[in-house]
């Protein structure tokens, strides 16, 4: 992700910001150019207007002369709590920020984002609240619809779940990145006769295996001994489809963080006399034109540095995962799948914009 800056004072600004924290200029995020623009007080000026959900902390812009008053990210949310529960709406606002960050990350990867209103089986999000009026909300993906429990936006709830399940990492953005992995597996890999389906099954296993049986076995028997030698996480051991989704999420974690480091000008220069690293590590804004071993070579050192920075703040590892050789092969597969699906216009608004690499079928 490129470093976003205030259009007035030029200082760095968070993607979710409604106003610059330095000069207090109201701002909007332009998803087309992926930059921040000033929210002009003159309603007649400029080509962009704020999303109608700005009061819900959405800072995305929409075309001023367009028919839509809601931005792409708000429209791709198919179901959400009604306005009767203020606490649910607060949780919706937090979760929607993670959703927008997911979409920007997918666009940075040049992946096509075909929404449900463009084609049947397109991407949609049901953001429901098990703490509100929606009971038994199950996080998952089915036929392009990703369901997320807004209770996961509550820090105490999410941390309790993380500890209870023995997970090293659990965030709202992580949920989105994992579930969208199921969607892209379905669309880019699992097509009958697809060019990489057999290779995918060799790496991850057969996704047609009974999911319910795998689920029951995982929660009754736990993960297999030595799982860390072959999988990125314990949850990835449950079923081939979960291994794919977990690996796809980690591919996004890695590439997005490297891109942010690059856009911020980070370089790791080994001090004189250093024996464990003999080159300057210079992350790239994009790794689309290099093999995955270049990605991994940069990531290993950047992750070490970021983990040490976290330790200096009294926190645990920022990236608390090992990447053994079998996982390297899986990530390399993801790298090739993502590159093969590249499109010049990620946010698809009509049927004409659907690239040939993505054919949504229900």
The verdict on 90 and 184 lying in the same domain is: yes
The verdict on 85 and 162 lying in the same domain is: yes
Reply yes or no on whether the pLDDT at 1 is more than 60: yes
Q: What phi and psi values does residue 97 have, to the nearest 5 degrees? A: -65, -40
Q: Identify the weakest region by mean pLDDT among 54-58, 133-137, 325-329, 343-347.
A: 133-137
| Averaged pLDDT for residues 186-210 | 92
**pTM score:** 0.94
Structure token digits, residue 60 = 């995305």
Please tell me the distance from the alpha carbon of residue 344 to that of residue 186, in angstroms, as a whole number. 21
| Averaged pLDDT for residues 258-267 | 95
The verdict on 32 and 121 lying in the same domain is: no
Phi-psi region of 57 (alpha: psi -120 to 50; beta: other; left: phi over 0): left
The verdict on 86 and 57 lying in the same domain is: no
In-domain check, residue 292: no
Reply yes or no on whether the pLDDT at 42 is more than 90: no
The verdict on 30 and 101 lying in the same domain is: no
In-domain check, residue 119: yes
**Under a CB-based contact definition with an 8 Å cutoff, are residues 4 and 93 in contact?**
no
| Averaged pLDDT for residues 267-283 | 88
In-domain check, residue 23: yes
pLDDT at 41: 57
Tens of pLDDT, residue by residue over 61-112, are 999 887 789 999 999 999 999 878 899 999 999 999 999 999 999 999 999 9
- pLDDT over 70 percentage in the chain: 97
Please tell me the distance from the alpha carbon of residue 300 to that of residue 114, in angstroms, as a whole number. 33
Reply yes or no on whether the pLDDT at 44 is more than 50: no
pLDDT at 243: 98
The residue out of 14, 48, 71 marking a domain boundary is 71
The verdict on 84 and 163 lying in the same domain is: yes
Nearest C-alpha neighbor of 137 from the set 73, 207, 81, 184: 81
DSSP H helices, 185-324, are 197-204, 211-221, 240-263, 292-312
The verdict on 89 and 50 lying in the same domain is: no
The verdict on 94 and 19 lying in the same domain is: no
**Under a CB-based contact definition with an 8 Å cutoff, are residues 343 and 357 in contact?**
yes
Q: In the predicted model, what is the mean pLDDT of the chain? A: 93
| Averaged pLDDT for residues 327-339 | 98
**Under a CB-based contact definition with an 8 Å cutoff, are residues 246 and 169 in contact?**
no
The verdict on 31 and 66 lying in the same domain is: yes
Residues paired with residue 35 on neighbouring β-strands, in sequence order: 30
- 35-38 and 27-30: which strand pairing? antiparallel
Q: Identify the weakest region by mean pLDDT among 81-85, 234-238, 247-251, 320-324.
A: 81-85
pLDDT at 45: 45
pLDDT at 43: 45
Number of domains the chain is built from: 2
Please tell me the distance from the alpha carbon of residue 248 to that of residue 187, in angstroms, as a whole number. 13
**Under a CB-based contact definition with an 8 Å cutoff, are residues 106 and 346 in contact?**
yes
pLDDT at 359: 55
Q: Identify the weakest region by mean pLDDT among 36-45, 53-62, 66-75, 231-240.
A: 36-45
pLDDT at 362: 41
In-domain check, residue 131: yes
The verdict on 51 and 150 lying in the same domain is: no
pLDDT at 202: 97
Domain containing residue 51: 1-71
In-domain check, residue 281: no
The verdict on 56 and 88 lying in the same domain is: no
**Under a CB-based contact definition with an 8 Å cutoff, are residues 27 and 18 in contact?**
yes
Diameter over CA atoms, the chain: 65
Reported confidence tier of residue 277, pLDDT bands at 50, 70, 90: confident
Nearest C-alpha neighbor of 334 from the set 141, 196, 143, 193: 196
Reply yes or no on whether the pLDDT at 169 is more than 80: yes
Between 114 and 194, name the one with better pLDDT.
Answer: 114
The verdict on 26 and 66 lying in the same domain is: yes
Structure token digits, residue 74 = 């708000």
Structure token digits, residue 109 = 């990867």
In-domain check, residue 333: no
The string of DSSP codes covering 336-359 is HHHHHT--S--B--SGGG--TT--
In-domain check, residue 266: no
Residues paired with residue 79 on neighbouring β-strands, in sequence order: 126
| Averaged pLDDT for residues 319-324 | 97
Structure token digits, residue 292 = 């995955």
In-domain check, residue 251: no
């Amino acid at each position: 992700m490129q470093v976003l800056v205030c259009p007035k004072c030029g200082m760095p600004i968070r993607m979710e910001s409604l106003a610059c924290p330095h000069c207090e200029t109201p701002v909007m995020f332009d998803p087309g150019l992926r930059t921040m623009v000033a929210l002009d007080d003159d309603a007649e000026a400029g080509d962009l207007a704020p999303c109608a959900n700005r009061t819900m902390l959405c800072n995305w812009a929409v075309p001023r002369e367009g028919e839509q008053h809601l931005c792409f990210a708000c429209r791709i949310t198919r179901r959400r709590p009604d306005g009767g529960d203020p606490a649910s709406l607060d949780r919706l606002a937090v979760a929607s920020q993670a959703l927008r960050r997911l979409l920007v990350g997918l666009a940075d990867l040049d992946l096509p984002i075909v929404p449900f209103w463009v084609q049947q089986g397109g991407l949609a999000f049901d953001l429901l609240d098990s703490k509100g009026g929606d009971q038994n909300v199950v996080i998952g993906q089915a036929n392009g619809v990703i369901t997320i429990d807004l209770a996961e936006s509550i820090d105490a709830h999410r941390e309790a779940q993380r500890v209870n399940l023995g997970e090293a990492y659990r965030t709202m953005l992580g949920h989105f990145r994992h579930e969208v992995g199921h969607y892209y597996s379905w669309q880019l890999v699992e097509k009958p006769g697809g060019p990489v389906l057999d290779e995918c099954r060799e790496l991850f296993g057969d996704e047609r295996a009974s999911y319910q049986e795998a689920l029951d076995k995982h929660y009754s028997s736990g993960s297999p001994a030595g799982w860390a030698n072959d999988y990125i996480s314990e949850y990835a051991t449950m079923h081939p489809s979960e291994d794919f989704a977990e690996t796809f999420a980690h591919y996004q974690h890695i590439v997005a963080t490297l891109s942010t480091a690059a856009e911020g000008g980070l370089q790791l220069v080994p001090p004189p006399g250093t024996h464990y690293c003999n080159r300057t590590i210079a992350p790239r804004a994009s790794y689309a034109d290099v093999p995955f071993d270049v990605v991994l070579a940069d990531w290993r050192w950047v992750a070490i540095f970021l983990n040490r920075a976290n330790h200096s703040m009294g926190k645990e590892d920022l990236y608390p995962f090992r990447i053994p050789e079998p996982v390297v092969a899986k990530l390399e597969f993801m790298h090739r799948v993502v590159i093969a699906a590249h499109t010049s216009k990620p946010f698809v608004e009509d049927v004409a914009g659907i690239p040939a690499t993505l054919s949504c079928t229900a």
